Amino acid sequence: MKDLLRRKRLRHSLIALFTVLIFALPFIISNNYYLSVLVIIGIHTTVAVGLCLLMGYAGQISLGHAGFYGLGAYASGILTSTYNISPWVAIIAGAIGTGIIAYVMGIPIFRLKEHYLALATLGLGLIIHVIFVEEVELTGGPSGLSKSIPPLSIGNLAIDTDSTFYFLVWAVALLAIIIANNVVHSRIGRALRSIHGSEFAAQSLGVDTGKFKLQIFALSAVYASVAGSLYAHYITFISPSPFGLMTSIQFMVMAVVGGLASIWGPIFGVTAITLLTEGLKTYVPLIYPQAGGEYEIVVFGLLLVIIMIFLPEGLTSGLVNIYERWRHRKERAHENP
Amino acid sequence: MNLASELLQYLLSGLTMGGIYALVALGFVIIHNVTGIINFAQGEFMMLGAMFMVTLVGLGIPVPLSLVLSIILVMLLVGLIEIGTIRTAKRASTISLIIITIGLSTAIRGIALLVWGTNPYKLEPFTKGGPINLGGATIVPQSLWVIGTTVVVLALTYFIFEYTFWGKALRACVVNKFAARLMGISPQRMSLFAFMFSAALSALAGIVIAPITYATYDMGLMLGVKGFIAAVIGGLSSTPGAVIGGLALGIIEAFGAGLVSSGYKDGMAFVILLLVLFIKPSGIFGAFGSKRV
């Protein structure tokens, strides 16, 4: 019991420490380029934390999250630019709508397992993407929304610079992490982990696995939707292309690279991947001038393969495991010199 | 054009695409049966086949020789990939293996983009000649090549599985891996064989469809996914199911595109998939059974 309490305190202090660190960063970094990278990291973190709940804790795969991300972005974009609705209302409306869509579509989809589930979510994502492209009157079709999306504001303070956006995005990301953390350490979290361990065993102990999987799926869709709304307001222009399968795969890479066993994994993964992407953008053209942006997907693909083969638990637990083994060996060497 | 000939037209174009889906679906089923893996990179094998073909023909090598060479190249490449990834990650969980094949498909697509660029490549049809009139509908000669190839390959696959040592060994692995091993059949080698065989099927599908759809670096994504849908409709473990699933999907898509809306053609395949999965998740030809824990 004492141990549990200590761990809980450790968790809370970790979150507090992280919060302080995050909000101190913009005072250290004033370069707008770095800030914009950090804003994107914050947006992606929100999605990846949701995906981590779904994949790491509930053990379910989703290849459709770019669709939910897009639903949020389009809900914000269309409601604010075409219908002049307040951006905050639009974000909430988008999140609720996406959550309902995910829940309703999830009822049949989550009767499936493994590859079928991967494919069904992939199909759901692709259908959402096709709708973005085809419903020209509503979405502007392949060329995107024609009207620009108004900036967010709190009272008189317009959130339209990199630094103001940074605070907003990370406040949302932190909220997402805190909620996820509470979910993980609640009854639902334990139920989810039991599903990951063995769904049959969980069912036989009276855990309503279907209900929990659905709720987590809907929650992760809401996360993606809110992140998508923020993305739309940040970029102020949306077209269907950033919401395709590649983005879903990218989100999955981010979640997997960091490790799915901890809420902190995705932050690590998102940061690593985003920095890698930006680094590649800067340095590869120096070595190989005729390359466009294509090598990125090669690196993503290979990274995914290598990590899954050698560190299937992701970088965070993988590195911890390597460290533990090293320490163990050192201790043993110490005992028998 | 009256309604009857219009419907015939849809049927013919549906059969053409359906044949391609069937070949890819067959590749999925073979790999899944032997190894339990769903190979999300299947469509990329197809793209590689088409791209190698275009490149070799461009070098001035005669079409039949290019065809054989491209298929062999894809098989060798896939063999190497299988040894390098799937065999190395032998103890990985299903979810990890799925992610590995997704990673492979992304990497292959990216490399193809670097090598061949985004431009679509045109491959000359295998035989020259204008469209053929068939009861009011028209059909391009290449469609006949696609349908013909599908039929020949299916017959050949049947022969290999029923009458050759390798085919029988493969089937033995499907029925009971452990017993197959006791009989001296190496499941590892069979996994390699399954990957190479289905790579050959997909590469061939990519080559015969290239003159109709053009070869692009990302052609494998949609075709691969459609092939998988066809395999799922057919039950994912049944070879005749895969063929019928492929043809059915091609025909439904062609009719849907013609009669409803062509923009939603790709969406339609997924709606069908979702319907099949919800109504009968084991597929139309799949046996009902409980999974062992």
Q: From the list A122, A245, A298, which residue is nearest B107 (CB)?
A: A298
Give the per-residue pLDDT at B52: 92
Instruction: Check CB contact under 8 Å for B110 and A294.
Output: yes
Q: Which residues are CB-contacts of A24 (< 8 A; sequence separation ≥ 6)?
A: none
Q: Which of A251, A256, A117 is nearest to A195 (CA)?
A: A117
Instruction: Check CB contact under 8 Å for A252 and B93.
Output: no
Mean of per-residue pLDDT scores for chain B: 83
A120 vs B: CB within 8 A = yes
B291 DSSP assignment: P
| Torsion of Cα atoms, A245 then A248 then A249 then A252, to 10° | -170
User: Residue B104: pLDDT above 70?
Assistant: yes
Q: From the list A63, A111, A291, which residue is nearest B281 (CB)?
A: A111
Residue with tokens 């993305």: A231
Give the per-residue pLDDT at B45: 93
Give the per-residue pLDDT at B75: 93
**Nearest-Cα residue of chain A relative to residue B274:** A120
Instruction: Check CB contact under 8 Å for A123 and B109.
Output: no
User: Residue B291: pLDDT above 50?
Assistant: no
Interface pTM, i.e. ipTM: 0.75
**Nearest-Cα residue of chain B relative to residue A197:** B293
User: Residue B46: pLDDT above 70?
Assistant: yes
User: Residue B123: pLDDT above 70?
Assistant: yes
User: Residue B224: pLDDT above 80?
Assistant: yes
From A132-141, A149-158, B14-23, B215-224, the region with the lowest mean pLDDT: A149-158
Q: What is the mean predicted confidence (pLDDT) over B134-158?
A: 84
Q: What is the mean predicted confidence (pLDDT) over A68-94?
A: 88
Cβ burial A62-74 (10 Å sphere, 16+ → b, else e)? bbbbbbbbbbbbb
Give the per-residue pLDDT at A1: 58
Contacts of B105 in chain A (CB under 8 A): 301
pTM listed for this prediction: 0.79
Q: How is residue B271 written in tokens?
A: 């709606």
**Nearest-Cα residue of chain B relative to residue A126:** B267
One-letter-per-residue 3-state SS of chain A: CHHHHHHHHHHHHHHHHHHHHHHHHHHHCCCHHHHHHHHHHHHHHHHHHHHHHHHHHCCCCCCCHHHHHHHHHHHHHHHHHCCCCCHHHHHHHHHHHHHHHHHHHHHHHCCCCHHHHHHHHHHHHHHHHHHHHHCHHHHCHHHCCCCCCCCEEECCEEECCHHHHHHHHHHHHHHHHHHHHHHHCCHHHHHHHHHHHCHHHHHHCCCCHHHHHHHHHHHHHHHHHHHHHHHHHHHCCCCCHHHCHHHHHHHHHHHHHHCCCCCHHHHHHHHHHHHHHHHHHHHHHHHCCCCCCCHHHHHHHHHHHHHHHHCCCHHHHHHHHHHHHHHHHHHHHHHCC
Give the per-residue pLDDT at A150: 79
A198 vs B: CB within 8 A = yes
Q: What is the DSSP secondary-structure string of B8-66? A: HHHHHHHHHHHHHHHHHHHHHHHHHHHH----TTHHHHHHHHHHHHHHHHHTT--HHHH
Alpha-carbon distance B79 to B116, whole Å?
A: 22
**Nearest-Cα residue of chain A relative to residue B89:** A309
Give the mutation candidate from B99, B264, B279 for the A interface (greatest A CB count, under 10 A). Answer: B99
Instruction: Check CB contact under 8 Å for B107 and A122.
Output: no
A287 vs B: CB within 8 A = no
User: Residue B288: pLDDT above 50?
Assistant: no
Give percent of chain A above pLDDT 70: 92
Contacts of B266 in chain A (CB under 8 A): 126, 130
CATH superfamily label, B6-279: ABC transporter involved in vitamin B12 uptake, BtuC (1.10.3470.10)
Q: What is the mean predicted confidence (pLDDT) over A100-117?
A: 80
Q: Is the dihedral of CA B271, B276, B278, B282 positive or negative?
A: negative
Say which residue, A301 or A73, is predicted with more confidence. A73
Give the per-residue pLDDT at B145: 86
Instruction: Check CB contact under 8 Å for A123 and B221.
Output: no
Q: Is A187 exposed, middle or buried (0-12, 13-18, 19+ CB in 10 A)?
A: exposed
A67 vs B: CB within 8 A = no
Contacts of A296 in chain B (CB under 8 A): 110
**Cα–Cα distance list, A25 to A18, A37, A230, A276 (Å):** 11, 13, 20, 20
A302 vs B: CB within 8 A = yes
- φ/ψ bin of B138: left (φ > 0), alpha (ψ from -120 to 50), beta (otherwise): beta
Q: What is the mean predicted confidence (pLDDT) over B214-237?
A: 84
From A296-300, B54-58, B105-109, the region with the lowest mean pLDDT: A296-300
- Closest chain A C-alpha to B209 CA, distance in angstroms: 23
Cβ burial A213-231 (10 Å sphere, 16+ → b, else e)? bbbbbbbbbbbbbbbbbbb
User: Residue A257: pLDDT above 50?
Assistant: yes
Q: What is the mean predicted confidence (pLDDT) over A119-125?
A: 83
pLDDT band at residue A276, thresholds of 50, 70 and 90? confident
All structural domains of chain A with their residue ranges: 18-242
Contacts of B86 in chain A (CB under 8 A): none
> What are the pLDDT digits (tens) for A216-227?
889 999 999 999
**Cα–Cα distance list, A86 to A145, A147, B201, B243 (Å):** 18, 15, 55, 53
Give the per-residue pLDDT at B290: 38
Q: Angle at CA B19, nearest 5°, toward B117 and B278?
A: 95
A124 vs B: CB within 8 A = yes
Q: How is residue B42 written in tokens?
A: 């299947």
All structural domains of chain B with their residue ranges: 6-279
The answer to whether the beta carbons of residues A176 and A46 sit under 8 Å apart is yes
Mean of per-residue pLDDT scores for chain A: 81
Contacts of B85 in chain A (CB under 8 A): 305, 309
pLDDT band at residue B49, thresholds of 50, 70 and 90? very high
**Cα–Cα distance list, A56 to A11, B26, B225 (Å):** 18, 32, 25
Give the per-residue pLDDT at B88: 78
- Closest chain A C-alpha to B134 CA, distance in angstroms: 33
Q: What is the mean predicted confidence (pLDDT) over B176-202?
A: 85
User: Residue B136: pLDDT above 70?
Assistant: yes
User: Residue B281: pLDDT above 70?
Assistant: no
> What are the pLDDT digits (tens) for A42-68?
999 999 988 888 887 777 788 889 999
Give the mutation candidate from B28, B95, B291 for the A interface (greatest A CB count, under 10 A). Answer: B95
Instruction: Check CB contact under 8 Å for B102 and A134.
Output: no
Instruction: Check CB contact under 8 Å for A122 and B225.
Output: yes
Chain B residues with a Cβ under 8 Å from any Cβ in chain A: 38, 40, 85, 88-89, 92-100, 102-111, 113-114, 221, 225, 228-229, 232, 261, 263-264, 266-267, 270-271, 273-274, 277-278, 281, 293
Alpha-carbon distance B232 to B226, whole Å?
A: 10
Q: What is the mean predicted confidence (pLDDT) over B248-270?
A: 80
Chain A segment 18-37 residues within 8 A of B by beta carbon are: none
A261 vs B: CB within 8 A = no
Contacts of B273 in chain A (CB under 8 A): 119-120, 123
The answer to whether the beta carbons of residues A255 and A64 sit under 8 Å apart is no
Q: What is the mean predicted confidence (pLDDT) over B50-62?
A: 90
Contacts of B114 in chain A (CB under 8 A): 291, 294-295, 298
Say which residue, B50 or A289, is predicted with more confidence. B50
Say which residue, A35 or A227, is predicted with more confidence. A227
Give the per-residue pLDDT at B76: 94
Q: Is B207 exposed, middle or buried (0-12, 13-18, 19+ CB in 10 A)?
A: buried
Give the per-residue pLDDT at B118: 78
